[in-house]
Amino acid sequence: MSSTAPLRVVVAEDAVVVREGLVQLLRERGLEVVAAVGDADALITAVEEQRPDAVIADIRMPPTHRDDGLRAALKLRERFPDLGVLLFSQYIETRYADRLAAAGLAGLGYLLKERVTDIDEFINALHRVADGGTALDPEVVSQLLAARRTAEALSPFTGREREVLAAMAEGRTNTAIADALGISRRAVEKHTAAIFDKLGLPRTDTQHRRVLAVLHYLNHLD
């Protein structure tokens, strides 16, 4: 994706009012909406035809109104690994977050509809997943961790390290983590280094290690 070209997006949402609102919002912020559809099958077709940079999709969509949007998005990611996917849900549904974690969180996001009130943060989250990062709602992260937490899995980490790791899973930078937790950036770097060491991650590219840390942690909490 060119750094100067507008982000090309497909919107998939069965509620017409919400779909049209998203399209207007994205276009007002300079993004190019190449398709807006109302069901999972149409989403797959639109992505195959338009090859967008990212997809915004409701998890529950026609035809079954269960996890059609999620299944379509995961299927598309298999075909187009660089496709950014930002999923919406009206409720926190841990089993869906589990499936996201199992598939790999790089380039994936999961936000609650009612909590997307900061438009700038929403647009940033969309750009983040398009660039291969993550964008998880803090409450989704919290419930996912709580649902899979065991004392043995968490024992290597201090309370602060858990907070830092959860913030990393939300896609926050070190500066954003420091601001959220009320600590210095240097302290965040120290905690992050400790997390990498305790997870036994190789000292390679920093951003890659962050993604590996989140994936490893979420996938090994059972």
How do residues 58-69 score in pLDDT, each as one tens digit?
998 998 888 899
Q: Which residues pair with 57 in a beta bridge?
A: 12, 87
CATH 3.40.50.920 fits 8-137, yes or no: no
Do 149-219 and 8-137 fall under one CATH topology? no
Average pLDDT, stretch 15-21? 92
Q: How far apart are the two ends of the chain, measured CA to CA in Å?
A: 37
- Please compute the mean of the pLDDT values over residues 107-128 and round it to a whole number: 85
Residue with tokens 């999709």: 57
Q: What is the mean pLDDT of the chain?
A: 84
CATH annotation of 149-219:
1.10.10.10
Q: What DSSP line would sit under 148-182, residue for residue?
A: H--HHHHTTS-HHHHHHHHHHHTT--HHHHHHHHT
Confidence of residue 2 (pLDDT cuts 50, 70, 90): very low
pLDDT tens for 168-206 read: 888 889 999 999 999 999 999 999 999 988 888 877 655
Distance of alpha carbon 180 from alpha carbon 188, whole angstroms: 11
Considering the entire predicted model, what is its pTM? 0.66
Domain ranges of the chain: 8-137, 149-219
Q: How many CB atoms lie within 10 A of CB 180?
A: 15
Are the CB atoms for 59 and 93 separated by under 8 Å?
A: yes
Amino acid at residue number 150: T
Q: Is 200 buried (19+), middle (13-18) or exposed (0-12) by CB count in 10 A?
A: exposed
Q: Which residue has the higher pLDDT, 113 or 148?
A: 113
